């Protein structure tokens, strides 16, 4: 059982504040408040009145992008960095306030949900490819201490919500084409039959790849059924399917290769035909039902199956060791879980209490094979690894919101999380011993925040809390010493978080939000080695992330608006450590070194005109330089990108046809889109695409 080194200095204060405020809440006068974005799990107050940074991005059919990846929608959210790697084999690189940047593929350190169903596995790893953007109505993003109420590995929360069915049957058709062989098509059908609303969406995205050996295809299907029940109840059924076969992986480039030809693939990618296939199906149900005048029960459950096959560029010679796991990864797993919570809201509307529990299970068979047969490379060879992995998660949580006075409100909560890992080794030989093992982690994560309203349209808040992040099974999969078995010596990272924020709203939809934040982490998890698509991890002591973010939505005149988001982030290791064997001084990483993969500054700006017929926009984004390794010897330069877009709607029989075009990277700037942290061969850099024109058509009733 893990015990963090730092004492729980916030725990007593937070619990004392929570208990005293609960008692005081019942004496407050009634207040009528609108409903809130569901990400906050508070119904008695709008997001504007809560001590957390919450953004809602409407996906309302005005996009001029391919709608292929969630990163298209996240540029307007400060503190969030979603970088497209031009590599569908590795998915989007997502970080929130510096959490999640170490991920070499998929998403770590950030909780993902789709229609209230977890898209993050019990071990803390998620995939943005799971999100069906063709069905999406909005995306919600939470940052700051209150993210911890969603459980472990929650440096932030991203939720996608699909639209409900409509009274009248509607069909929406959309198609886009762009440079580099990018093609996307989607169809949506919304309606109601026998009192049950339905929304069926299907999409396909194909690309030849900006880089050589970067072709991929992704098919998705999403179905949502919903029905209103007697007594103000509601039942939802959500199912989705993803198929992404043989997505090619061009791997990263070193500095010389980047200068020579950024569109090339690493020779090893071609030699071993590096690629990845993913197939996933999931079914979930959400049920909400009042149990009385002031109590509501919410139950959700889900289950799914996920298959992954990946061919890595592990050299044949490196597989000679009897402890090698080979160069082909084969994962076949099932997962599921349930969440039950009760919300109690007295009639005066000044207080709300939620208590709940959740349980999750992940069962995965991990096999490893050689990536050669004789002299033939990039094919499945002999079995070199065979193990059954299990993860169990069991959590209890409570949250309360109450209005203490006309200008003061308090939100507080706590969660106790338990995560258990177990591995059963089925590949045991005379030279490869039994590597079975187990590990368990648990943590109590309290959080509290106070909001002051000095004016009707102004809020100032302060929040503090604790969060923790367990290693995922993929991070446990390979030990830093090269021996077999899982890296059960890894410890979870525990963070103390603090946020001071301000929110202001004005006439015409004006909105300004700003926040200062800080997170102090013990047992920071970092990449120890990254080679051929395989990564190992270690704990490196204390780390600190602190910064500021601001966003604004500013209507300028009739039909004109300006939106902006900016982030400053200082993320550093607070303790020195060795980046290698410590055999030479060059292996030393001094205290104060920057955490790799994180720029100090990034921003986004959009000027838009929305007239009766035409829609026009200019968009700019900028990212400062970032280091790619712990020692700071590899640096990706900063860059700025410009984009233009235009759209025109035409009335047609029984509907509306919308034609649109978007020009990305207007100045054709060469740039690094993302980096592979601590890549052992110096192949850190994943180039971003050059100038590209996208055109599209959308028809809707």
Over residues 227-239, the pLDDT tens digits come to: 999 989 999 999 9
pLDDT value at residue 35: 42
Q: Residue 39 contacts by C-beta under 8 Å, 6 or more apart in sequence?
A: 47, 54, 140, 141, 142, 157, 159
State the average pLDDT for the chain: 88
Over residues 313-349, the pLDDT tens digits come to: 999 998 998 888 899 999 999 999 999 999 999 878 8
Q: Kindly indicate the confidence band of residue 530, based on its pLDDT and cuts at 50, 70 and 90.
A: low
Distance CA 213, CA 27 (A): 66
Strand partners, 96: 80, 99
Please answer whether residues 680 and 312 qualify as being in contact, where contact means their C-beta atoms are separated by less than 8 angstroms: no
Query: Which of these, 625, 647, 627, 643, lies nearest to 690 by C-alpha position?
Result: 643
Over residues 665-695, the pLDDT tens digits come to: 999 999 999 998 888 889 999 999 999 999 9
Give the whole-number percent of the chain exceeding pLDDT 90.
66
Over residues 353-380, the pLDDT tens digits come to: 999 999 999 999 999 999 999 999 999 9
Q: How far is CA 277 from CA 165, 245, 300, in A?
A: 32, 4, 29
Query: Which of these, 117, 143, 114, lies nearest to 128 by C-alpha position?
Result: 114
**Residue 425: alpha-carbon gap to chain centroid:** 31
pLDDT value at residue 67: 83
Look at residue 18 and tell me whether its pLDDT is greater than 60.
no
Please answer whether residues 40 and 142 qualify as being in contact, where contact means their C-beta atoms are separated by less than 8 angstroms: yes
Q: Kindly indicate the confidence band of residue 27, based on its pLDDT and cuts at 50, 70 and 90.
A: very low
Rounded-to-10 torsion of CA 668, 568, 492, 684:
30
Q: Residue 269 contacts by C-beta under 8 Å, 6 or more apart in sequence?
A: 213, 248, 249, 250, 251, 313
Higher pLDDT, 367 or 474: 367
664 SS3 class: strand
Structure token pair of residue 371: 């990536």
Residue in the structure block whose two tokens are 């005005």: 62
Q: Kindly indicate the confidence band of residue 657, based on its pLDDT and cuts at 50, 70 and 90.
A: very high
Give the whole-number percent of the chain exceeding pLDDT 70.
92
Tell me what the mean pLDDT of segment 562-571 comes to. 96
Tell me what the mean pLDDT of segment 11-17 comes to. 35
Tell me what the mean pLDDT of segment 558-571 comes to. 95
Q: Residue 518 contacts by C-beta under 8 Å, 6 or more apart in sequence?
A: 497, 498, 499, 544, 545, 546
Q: How many CA atoms lie within 13 A of 151 on its CB side?
A: 27
Distance CA 369, CA 380 (A): 6
Greatest Cα pair distance, the chain, in angstroms, is 79
Look at residue 431 and tell me whether its pLDDT is greater than 90.
no
pLDDT value at residue 412: 96
pTM of the model: 0.89
Over residues 550-561, the pLDDT tens digits come to: 999 999 988 999
Higher pLDDT, 53 or 348: 53
Distance CA 503, CA 551 (A): 10
**Residue 626: alpha-carbon gap to chain centroid:** 20
Ramachandran class of 278: left when φ > 0, alpha when ψ lies in -120 to 50, beta otherwise: beta
pLDDT value at residue 121: 85
Domains of the chain and CATH, by start: 11-273+285-700 (2.40.170.20)
Q: Kindly indicate the confidence band of residue 206, based on its pLDDT and cuts at 50, 70 and 90.
A: very high
Q: Kindly indicate the confidence band of residue 617, based on its pLDDT and cuts at 50, 70 and 90.
A: very high
pLDDT value at residue 245: 95
Look at residue 15 and tell me whether its pLDDT is greater than 50.
no
Over residues 269-308, the pLDDT tens digits come to: 999 999 999 999 999 999 999 998 799 999 999 999 999 9
Ramachandran class of 116: left when φ > 0, alpha when ψ lies in -120 to 50, beta otherwise: left
Distance CA 667, CA 182 (A): 20
The helix (H) or strand (E) run that includes residue 476 is: helix 473-476
DSSP-assigned letters across all residues of 276-342: EEEEEEEEEEEEEEE-SSSEEEEEEEEEEEEEEEEE----TGGG-STT---SEEEEEEEEEEEEEEE
Look at residue 3 and tell me whether its pLDDT is greater than 60.
no
Residue in the structure block whose two tokens are 């170490």: 102
Strand partners, 456: none
Look at residue 130 and tell me whether its pLDDT is greater than 60.
yes
The helix (H) or strand (E) run that includes residue 255 is: helix 255-260
Look at residue 20 and tell me whether its pLDDT is greater than 50.
no
**E strand intervals along 511-654:** 511-522, 525-531, 534-539, 543-557, 560-573, 577-578, 588-589, 601-610, 614-623, 626-627, 635-636, 639-652
Q: Kindly indicate the confidence band of residue 351, based on its pLDDT and cuts at 50, 70 and 90.
A: very high
Structure token pair of residue 521: 């982490």
Higher pLDDT, 625 or 486: 625
pLDDT value at residue 26: 34
Q: Kindly indicate the confidence band of residue 265, based on its pLDDT and cuts at 50, 70 and 90.
A: very high
Distance CA 311, CA 379 (A): 8
């Amino acid at each position: 059982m893990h015990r963090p080194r730092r004492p729980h200095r916030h725990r007593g204060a937070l619990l004392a504040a929570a208990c005293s405020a609960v008692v005081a809440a019942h004496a407050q006068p009634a207040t009528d408040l609108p409903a809130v974005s569901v990400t906050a799990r508070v119904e008695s107050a709008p997001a504007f009145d809560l001590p957390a940074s919450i953004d809602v991005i409407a996906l309302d059919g005005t996009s001029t992008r391919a709608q292929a990846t969630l990163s298209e929608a996240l540029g307007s959210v400060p503190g969030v960095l979603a970088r497209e790697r031009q590599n569908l084999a590795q998915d989007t690189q997502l970080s929130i306030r510096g959490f999640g940047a170490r991920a070499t593929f998929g998403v770590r350190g950030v909780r993902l949900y789709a229609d209230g169903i977890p898209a993050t596995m019990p071990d803390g790893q998620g995939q943005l490819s799971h999100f069906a953007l063709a069905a999406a109505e909005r995306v919600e993003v939470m940052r700051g201490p209150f993210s911890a109420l969603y459980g472990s590995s929650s440096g932030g929360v991203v939720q996608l919500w699909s639209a409900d069915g409509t009274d009248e049957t509607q069909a929406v058709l959309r198609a886009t084409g762009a440079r580099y062989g990018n093609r996307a098509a989607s169809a949506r059908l919304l309606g109601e039959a026998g009192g049950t609303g339905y929304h069926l969406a299907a999409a396909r995205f194909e690309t030849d790849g900006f880089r050589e050996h970067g072709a991929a295809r992704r098919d998705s299907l999403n179905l949502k059924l919903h029905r209103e029940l007697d007594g103000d109840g509601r039942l939802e059924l959500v199912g989705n399917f993803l198929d992404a076969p043989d997505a090619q992986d061009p791997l990263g480039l070193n500095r010389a290769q980047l200068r020579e030809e950024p569109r090339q693939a690493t020779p090893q990618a071609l030699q071993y035909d590096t690629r990845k296939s993913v197939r996933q199906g999931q079914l979930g149900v959400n049920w909400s039902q009042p149990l009385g005048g002031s109590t509501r029960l919410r139950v959700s459950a889900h289950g799914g199956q996920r298959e992954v096959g990946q061919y890595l560029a592990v050299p044949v010679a490196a597989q000679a060791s009897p402890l090698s796991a080979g160069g082909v990864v084969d994962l076949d797993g099932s997962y599921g879980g349930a969440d039950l919570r009760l919300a109690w809201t007295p009639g005066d509307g000044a207080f709300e209490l939620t208590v709940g529990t959740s349980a999750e299970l992940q069962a995965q068979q991990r096999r490893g094979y050689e990536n050669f047969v004789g002299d033939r490379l990039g094919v499945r060879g002999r079995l070199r690894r065979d193990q059954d992995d299990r993860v169990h998660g069991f959590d209890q949580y409570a949250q309360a919101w109450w209005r203490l006075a006309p200008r003061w409100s308090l939100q507080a909560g706590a969660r106790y999380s338990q995560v258990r890992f177990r591995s059963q080794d089925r590949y045991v030989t005379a030279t490869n011993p039994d590597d079975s093992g187990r590990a368990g982690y648990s943590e109590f994560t309290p959080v509290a925040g106070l909001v002051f309203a000095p004016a009707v349209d102004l809020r100032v808040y302060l929040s503090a809390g604790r969060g923790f992040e367990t290693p995922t099974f993929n991070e446990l999969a390979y030990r830093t010493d090269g021996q077999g078995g899982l890296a059960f010596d890894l410890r979870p990272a525990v963070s103390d978080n603090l946020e001071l924020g301000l929110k202001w709203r004005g006439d015409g939809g004006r909105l300004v939000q700003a926040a200062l934040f800080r997170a102090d982490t013990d047992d920071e998890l970092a990449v120890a080695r990254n080679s051929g698509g395989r990564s190992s991890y270690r704990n490196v002591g204390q780390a600190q992330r602190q910064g500021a973010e601001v966003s604004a939505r500013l209507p300028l005149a009739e039909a004109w608006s300006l939106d902006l988001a900016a982030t400053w982030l200082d993320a550093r290791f607070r303790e020195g450590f060795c980046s290698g064997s410590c055999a030479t001084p060059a292996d030393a990483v001094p205290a104060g070194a920057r955490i790799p993969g994180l720029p100090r500054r990034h921003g986004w700006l959009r000027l838009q005109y929305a007239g009766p017929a035409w829609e026009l926009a200019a968009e700019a984004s900028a990212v400062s330089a970032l280091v790619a390794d712990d020692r700071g010897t590899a640096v990706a330069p900063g860059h700025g990108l410009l984009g233009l877009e235009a759209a025109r709607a035409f009335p047609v029989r029984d509907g509306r046809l919308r034609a649109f075009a978007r020009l990305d990277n207007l100045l054709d700037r060469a740039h690094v889109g993302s980096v592979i942290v601590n890549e052992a061969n110096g192949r850190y850099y994943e180039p971003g695409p050059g100038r590209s024109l996208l055109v599209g058509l959308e028809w809707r009733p």
